[in-house]
Amino acid sequence: MKHETRIRVRFSDTDLNGHVNNAVYATYMEESRIAFVRDIFPDEKLSLVLASLHIDYRAQTYYPEHQWVVATTWLTRIGRSSFEFYCEICSEEGVLLCEGTAVVVNFDFAKQTSQPLSDEVKARLSQYLVAKEDRDPTHV
């Protein structure tokens, strides 16, 4: 399964030419990760920290031409204490704007160390585990 989040493009996301700034895509990816975790674990609070973020830009985004983008998110790896998100951000017309990965770690803030994911958490996450090779082939 894949998780989808519709995100509003804000005027403040742009430069003077109406071009969406590249740093904003990290925020869009964060919004999609937060929506993903809240939907999968609505009654729980996971202690996750971002360990890695990688973004490949595919097309430019302009406001007000693009007022919404759609972030499709799934998992490509579940480890002992971490998991990897894969995210594609597209225009509403389906044009791939960027894609990237984010690794989050289950973290014990009191001990300041990673902690293993429970079997229950892994089982719920595994519903969204998709091989990178199984992504939409129309997105180049």
Instruction: Tell me the pLDDT of the chain (140 aa) as tens digits.
Output: 999 999 999 999 999 989 999 999 999 999 999 999 999 999 999 999 999 999 999 999 999 999 999 999 999 999 999 999 999 999 999 999 999 999 999 999 999 999 999 999 999 999 999 986 655 555 54
Report the predicted TM-score, pTM, of the whole model to 2 decimal places: 0.90
Cα–Cα distances (Å) from 134 to 2, 64, 124, in that order, read: 11, 32, 20
Summarize pLDDT for 86-124 with one digit per residue, the tens: 999 999 999 999 999 999 999 999 999 999 999 999 999
**For the chain, what is the mean pLDDT?**
94
Domains of the chain, earliest start first? 3-127 (3.10.129.10)
pLDDT reported for residue 140: 44
pLDDT reported for residue 115: 97
At 77, is the secondary structure helix, strand, or coil?
strand
